[in-house]
Amino acid sequence: MPEATRTFSSGEAVLLVAGREVRTKLRSKAYIITTVATVVLLIGFALVMKLVSGGSDATVGVTPQNAALAEPLKAVSSSIGQNVDTREVSEQDGRDQVADESVDALLVGQGDQLRVVVKKDIDENLRNALNVLAGQLALNQEIAQLGGDPAQVNATMAEAEVLVEPLEEPFPYDPQQLVLGIIAGILIYMSLQFTGQLVAQGVVEEKSSRVVELLLSTITPWQLMAGKVLGIGFVGFLQMAVIGGFGVAAALALGVLTIAVSTAVGTVVWLVVWYLLGFLMYSLLFAGLAALVSRQEDVGGVISPALMMVIAGYVVGISVLPTDPGNTLVGVLSIIPLFAPTLMPMRLAMGGVPWWEAALSVGLVVVLIPVLVWLAGRIYANAVMRSGARVKLTDALRTA
């Protein structure tokens, strides 16, 4: 076969198709809005976390007669996980401040009997703290009457604690990393859904508008499919990188994330790796399946089996992992390629994943992708020109 004058490589064709996808998608309102909204949401979340963790749970006014109780109150509160601020005020000012809610309670009365003034009712946690403090005061009094030194008894009591001997050293999950894992799961789930549907809709758009016949008269079905998947994949990757980058940067800058920067960056890198793997895997499935139908209304139905896998992985992960990050079932599922893209990044962000599990799950997906390329390419090539009724999967797999 003689070469024509203009040569045009397969790669160029794929890049041209991908370029069109990137240009049109980056300009689409839906894409810009979801990206900006997610970034804003994440930064807002970081701000809220900062406000919540930085401030105190309650502020208690203390009259000058009770000033000595301020320190013990703080100590007792922190021992039950409450962060209480105290402020010394005269009784009259204190009552005014309780009334206008600038303090939550005012400690009044004399020495041994604790009394607080509150506006309507007292916060349950604050009541617990004050009850413990009252008990402490009573105990101190008894010890002093028995001739002991309350300070020494308290010190001894503080040191007494049970010794735990674990047979297996548990992984010390950092609560911040758990939150990070949940966010990673939500992001990858959203992104796989969004980009996967873009691929499916793009395939059907070409089919329903019949432009596919014009395209296939100059490029092969495979080039068209590959270009589409690559283009939309890049757009999704960009979104993921922007969201992940802004989110982590905001959290670190605001001091909400106190984990090491390397761990945070590691989470983002894993997130991007798993997004790419998951996207390639699922978008190929979506492209092949979407080629079976000719109308946008039918896209949802035809891709739902594949979409269910994404949703199942996400739902299992989000409902089990936050309370039980070491769950065995989830551990096994996270290695199976269909569920790995949603579950593995969550586990990786939470930490404590043995290296071989991480490597095995990546390896399995990497092996599966060429198989999917072949399978999806075959379905796509056989079905994309058949408009009208939905093409049966078995027909599409047979040679045309």
Smallest gap from residue 37 Cβ to other proteins (A): 22
In the chain, the amino acid numbered 210 is R
373 binds other proteins (CB under 8 A): no
Q: Tokens 């390629």 — which residue? A: 337
Map the footprint of other proteins across residues 255-314, applying CB under 8 A: none
DSSP per residue, 323-377 = T-TT-HHHHHHTTSTTTHHHHHHHHHHH----HHHHHHHHHHHHHHHHHHHHHHH
If one counts every other C-beta atom within 10 angstroms of the C-beta of residue 23, the result is 11
26 binds other proteins (CB under 8 A): no
Task: Confirm if 322 and 339 have CB atoms less than 8 A apart.
Answer: no
Smallest gap from residue 8 Cβ to other proteins (A): 4
Binding mask 211-240 for other proteins (x = CB under 8 A): xxxxxxxxxx--------------------
Smallest gap from residue 28 Cβ to other proteins (A): 9
Helix axes 299-320, 175-208, angle to 10 degrees: 180
Q: What are phi and psi of 321, to 5 degrees?
A: -60, -45
Nearer to other proteins, 17 or 198 (CB): 17
Nearer to other proteins, 24 or 176 (CB): 24
Smallest gap from residue 32 Cβ to other proteins (A): 16
If one counts every other C-beta atom within 10 angstroms of the C-beta of residue 165, the result is 4
- Rounded Cα distance, 211 and 238, in Å: 28
- Rounded Cα distance, 204 and 210, in Å: 9
* Per-residue burial over 171-204, b = 16 or more CB atoms within 10 Å of its CB, e = otherwise: eebeebbbbbbbbbbbbbbbbbebbbbbbbbbbb
Q: Tokens 């809220």 — which residue? A: 48
Nearer to other proteins, 112 or 213 (CB): 213
22 binds other proteins (CB under 8 A): no
Nearer to other proteins, 129 or 224 (CB): 224
Task: Confirm if 291 and 383 have CB atoms less than 8 A apart.
Answer: yes
Smallest gap from residue 397 Cβ to other proteins (A): 17
Nearer to other proteins, 21 or 104 (CB): 21
- Rounded Cα distance, 59 and 103, in Å: 5
Give ∠ CA 97-100-105 in degrees, rounded to 5: 50
The stretch among 3-11, 122-130, 144-152, 334-342 that binds other proteins (CB under 8 A) is: 3-11
The stretch among 12-20, 79-87, 251-259, 339-347 that binds other proteins (CB under 8 A) is: 12-20
1 binds other proteins (CB under 8 A): yes
Nearer to other proteins, 13 or 280 (CB): 13
- Rounded Cα distance, 34 and 106, in Å: 48
Nearest Cα to 16, choosing from 273, 226, 304? 226
Smallest gap from residue 375 Cβ to other proteins (A): 20
Binding mask 328-367 for other proteins (x = CB under 8 A): ----------------------------------------
397 binds other proteins (CB under 8 A): no
- The residue count for binding other proteins (CB under 8 A) is 29
Binding mask 179-208 for other proteins (x = CB under 8 A): --------------------------xx--
DSSP 167: S
Which residue ranges make up the site for other proteins (CB under 8 A)?
A: 1-4, 6-8, 13, 16-17, 20, 24, 205-206, 209-220, 385, 387, 400
